[in-house]
């Protein structure tokens, strides 16, 4: 079960949106995400987007991917809304995804052996796949993407975020790297011939002993199946 609740808003400290108002983060349930699908698609069009492939470049492709992900067990989403004096709040950011299974099936298509830390965190249920990070173009370079992805991972009790980006999507790749993501290798999804890069975002602190930040974080322990918590329950 994710830690974010519907309607649970939190102000971003030291964040000044281009609208001149305050920015709040809140989690959406799968049903709320479906209700806001058109607004999210509009944000996709107006965003600096880190996407997973060339076929995702269209609004229709985004909506298809959103529908698929909403149906996955453990789906979670965090949105950012900016308040505008005298007007309704404005959707300026969103991030969503789902937990990677302990069986490691998500990694089929990765070329070569997984880094040891990634393999261990996957087996312990601490890895979360982020499908999309949306930031309105007016909010670029203001730190919003970092707040969104950190909130989603920490609220979902995950130690590591993972995502895929098309090898030809240079803008998306550059955005991900600027937000702290690390390239760990090639990824192929048969029968699709598109080559993707697999990137990770450690939630842990980097140190001399753990330069990648991939150490297990005991504060992000996710319950195992059968522990009485349904990971897909919202």
Residue 224 counted as domain residue? no
- Note the pLDDT tens digit of each residue in 8-47: 444 443 344 555 568 889 999 999 999 999 999 999 988 8
Residue 46 has a pLDDT of 85
Residue 94 has a pLDDT of 96
Residue 200 counted as domain residue? yes
CATH number at residue 108: 3.40.630.30
8 Å CB contact between 136 and 92: yes
Residue 228 has a pLDDT of 28
SS3 19: coil
Per the structure, the complete domain to which residue 170 belongs is given by 9-215
**What's the total number of domains in the chain?**
1
| Distance from C-alpha of 41 to C-alpha of 6, rounded to nearest angstrom | 20
Residue 95 counted as domain residue? yes
pTM: 0.76
Residue 221 counted as domain residue? no
Residue 220 counted as domain residue? no
**Digitized pLDDT (tens) for each residue of the chain, 234 residues in all:** 233 333 444 444 334 455 556 888 999 999 999 999 999 999 998 885 444 444 456 888 899 999 999 999 999 999 999 887 767 788 999 999 999 999 999 999 999 898 988 999 999 999 999 999 999 887 776 789 999 999 999 988 899 999 999 988 888 899 899 999 999 999 998 777 788 999 999 985 433 334 344 444 444 344 333 332 222 222
Nearest Cα to Cα of residue 206 among 176, 186, 182, 183: 182
Residue 228 counted as domain residue? no
Residue 194 has a pLDDT of 82
């Amino acid at each position: 079960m994710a830690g974010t609740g519907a309607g649970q808003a939190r102000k971003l400290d030291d964040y000044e949106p281009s609208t001149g108002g305050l920015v709040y983060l809140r989690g959406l349930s799968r049903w709320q995400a479906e209700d806001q699908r058109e607004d999210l698609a509009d944000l996709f069009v107006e965003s600096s987007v880190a996407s997973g492939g060339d076929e995702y470049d269209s609004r229709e492709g985004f909506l298809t991917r959103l529908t698929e992900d909403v149906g996955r067990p453990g789906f979670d989403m965090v949105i950012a809304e900016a308040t505008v004096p005298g007007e309704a709040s404005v959707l300026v950011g969103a991030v969503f995804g789902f937990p990677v299974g302990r069986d490691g099936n998500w990694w089929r298509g990765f070329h070569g052996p997984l880094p040891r830390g990634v393999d261990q965190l996957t087996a312990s249920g601490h890895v979360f796949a982020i499908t999309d990070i949306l930031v309105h173009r007016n909010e670029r370079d203001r730190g919003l993407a970092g707040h969104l992805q950190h909130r989603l991972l920490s609220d979902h009790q995950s130690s590591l975020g993972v995502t895929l980006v098309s090898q030809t999507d240079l803008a998306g790749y550059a955005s991900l790297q600027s937000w702290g993501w690390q390239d760990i290798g090639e990824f192929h999804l048969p029968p699709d011939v598109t080559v993707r890069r697999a990137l990770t975002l450690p939630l842990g602190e980097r140190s001399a002993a753990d330069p990648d930040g991939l150490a297990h974080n005991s504060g992000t322990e996710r319950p195992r199946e059968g522990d009485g918590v349904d990971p897909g329950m919202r």
